[in-house]
Amino acid sequence: MSGLNRSRYRRTRFRAPLTSATVKVFQHERRLRTTGGLSVRDITDDVTEAVRESGVRDGIVCVYSPHTTCCVRVNEFENGFLEDFTALLKSLVPNDKYYAHDDWERRTENICEEDMEAGNGHSHCMSMLLGSAGEAIPVRDGELCLGTWQRVLFLELDRERDRRWIVQVVGS
């Protein structure tokens, strides 16, 4: 911090009051069967139920997909938007192009026989473009702090499969 006005930083510091509140940690895993091919499912009600079940009034809920070709996102669950978003992703990452990930003469790592039947290189590329596999959402007074139209969405970027997602609630 040399050369910076240190007094400015001292004035903006915030010190939280010490409390004796116990931090709770609640984790639950959910399973679902996706329909495949860029499908979106609204899981907001399930996340809300997990928060209620956790007993956490103030904290954060993390919703995570442990699959590389799925992700969890917060956005609007509206047909026009979903149609636009699907068209955009398909134009950016078409499934009929060459992907080295699907070239079985080249690929020597992480081989799954199921993937050899139908390539999914495009699904992995979409996942990388969309970012992390999960979302963190604040919880206040036992409720998700979502905007008016925001919903928690589970996105399948690959074919129909059995999937799971994890919700973890932390707070007091």
Mean pLDDT of the chain: 90
What whole-number distance in Å separates Cα of residue 60 and Cα of residue 136? 7
- What pTM, to 2 d.p., does this model score? 0.85
Q: Which one is the CATH code of 22-104+118-171: 3.30.70.600, 2.40.30.10, 2.60.120.460, 1.10.540.10?
A: 2.60.120.460
Domain ranges of the chain: 22-104+118-171
Residues 6+ apart with CB under 8 A from 151: 42, 44, 74, 75, 76, 77
Amino acid at site 49: E
**Digit-coded pLDDT (tens) for 28-69:** 999 999 998 899 999 999 999 999 999 999 999 999 999 999
